Amino acid sequence: MLHHFLAQNKGMCFAFMEIVIFSLQKRHIPWRDELKSQGLCTATKRECVSKNRTVMNYMKENSIVSKQLTTPWQPAVYDVNEEQQRSQATAKKAEDSNFGLKEYGIFGATFIVLFASVFGVYMLQPDFDALRFQRLDSLGGTLLIGFGIFLAVVAISFLIFLVVLHRRYKPIASVSDEELPTCTIIVPAYNEGQLVYDTLHSLAGSDYPEEKLQIIAIDDGSKDNTFAWIQRAKMELGDRVEIYQQPKNMGKRHALYRGFHLGTGEVFITVDSDSVVKKDTIRNMASPFVTNKECGAVAGNVRVLNTKKAIIPRMLNVSFVFSFEFVRSAQSMLGTVMCTPGALSGYRREAVMNCLEDWINQTFMGQPSDIGEDRAMTNMILKQGYHVLFQSNAYVYTDTPVRYRNLYKMFIRWERSNVRENIMMSQFAFKNFRKGPKWGARILLIMQWKKVLLSYPLMLLMLWTVFHYPLMFLSSTLVGILIFSSIQAYFFASKNSDAKEAFWAYSYSIFYAFSLFWITPYAIATAGRRGWLTRG
């Protein structure tokens, strides 16, 4: 039974791959030099030592708009002397020359492990058969095997269901300038430093009628120089950007709340302050609100920005492509994208204003809800009867964690908000909450609950199997990973020109299964806790 179950569940095992990944990671390294070549930055600053040189690569490769600056800016306090620059350049060359070896080293180790697992399953087949017959001799064992087969059938059926929906999906084409609605873009920022500057320039260069576009940047009481960078962008972009500063750090939800009240557009678009967009992204985000009056929210297509200089972001990029272009495209066909991402989301003004006070005052287990603001807003808009769609042609490139510690904190936030919002969605999903078919939303919610409700029983079963049949557990788990990852890798390769990046699907699945399997059970146990886990 376990053999079949693990073939469709990649995330239920112990950690060893994280140690390898963590040791091979790089810290963020200079990125501003390439921005200078396009006029996006003319400074050599201390941030150059800590940020990744990735923005300009994406601007070149993906036609992301840049904005030429008219005046240089070089505060002496941030200058790096020539000797330091030469040292950094030498270190970078050494890193770049070794990165390919690390890539292929990880790929080689990954496939040695996976193919060894296939051999292990083959060699242990008599033991699997003996265990199966032993279980069939008891009622409990028979029920356990039957339940495992049931879970496998449900998982495979749901995957086929998503495949059918995905194949029918097409993004909504952009409408003309005359048809485009007035649009307010809200950029909340906290301790992002120079990243927010690039975000604002990226947005200001969008292919969108200037008279219809309002850009609002809100510093949420940052402790670094984030607001100085926002002011710099304001100085260069003039009236195209409105800037505000919270009196203290109040959280992303409160910064967005202020932006919603300040905004005048018919459509709100929220963008994270560590992200850059393509030139046509905002246009493509706004168009569904014109062509579909039932559309209340739109999810953008999120890709990873910092893929070139760290291993975890490269693995996450494969996961993101599958999560957005496959899963969310299928959900969009049902009018029920479960979560509009914080990196890029669009909302109809009327839908936001109808639930804004409930959203800002939301509580869970007696505590204010200060995480999962994107999923909460999505739920409240669905509850009003609106559809939530996905636009695969609206790209945003966002910075992601490069270290295990930051990665698991991000996943814990996501899973805690999922637990809370699954409860909230259950309060209306099985009622007559909108016109037309509602079965799609209900199926998606049931599958969300399946993951939550089975997390503890399956973890206990996993631990029992690890102690009693370690080799059988390890080999069957890795074979399941091989099968699931092959689906992800094939999908990624079909959507990207750089097909070799698809192989990160295998490394990521092993990494997740053996080092992040605990996230969902832990998030359930601590669902009532507040905080982003990134602030002091």
Final residue belonging to a domain, choices 342, 375, 403 = 403
234 plus 383 within the same structural domain: yes
In the chain, % of residues over pLDDT 70? 77
Task: Count how many Cα atoms sit within 13 Å of the Cα of residue 78 in the half-sphere of its side chain.
Answer: 16
pLDDT tens per residue, range 29-47: 333 443 343 333 433 333 3
92 plus 195 within the same structural domain: no
Q: 49: domain range?
A: 24-100
95 plus 184 within the same structural domain: no
Final residue belonging to a domain, choices 403, 431, 452 = 403
Look at residue 475 and tell me if it is in a domain: no
174 plus 87 within the same structural domain: no
Look at residue 415 and tell me if it is in a domain: no
92 plus 196 within the same structural domain: no
Look at residue 428 and tell me if it is in a domain: no
Final residue belonging to a domain, choices 384, 403, 422 = 403
Give the model's pLDDT for residue 519.
94
Give the model's pLDDT for residue 83.
41
Look at residue 229 and tell me if it is in a domain: yes
In whole angstroms, give the CA distance from residue 416 to residue 525. 9
Look at residue 513 and tell me if it is in a domain: no
Number of domains in the chain: 2
Look at residue 134 and tell me if it is in a domain: no
- For 415, phi then psi, to 5°, come to -70, -35
Across 205-214, 217-226, 460-469, least confident range: 460-469
208 plus 332 within the same structural domain: yes
185 plus 95 within the same structural domain: no
In whole angstroms, give the CA distance from residue 186 to residue 377. 15
Q: Residues 448, 418: contact at Cβ < 8 Å?
A: yes
pLDDT tens per residue, range 130-145: 776 677 677 777 887 8
List CB contacts of 66: < 8 A, sequence separation 6 or more.
38, 39, 40, 59, 201, 202, 205
283 plus 382 within the same structural domain: yes
Give pTM, 2 decimals.
0.78
Report CA-CA distances (Å) from 115 to 118, 123, 507: 5, 12, 13
Is pLDDT larger for residue 49 or for residue 520? 520
Q: 102: which DSSP letter?
A: H
Look at residue 263 and tell me if it is in a domain: yes
Give the model's pLDDT for residue 122.
67
70 plus 207 within the same structural domain: no
Across 165-169, 464-468, 517-521, least confident range: 464-468
List CB contacts of 509: < 8 A, sequence separation 6 or more.
10, 481, 484, 485, 488
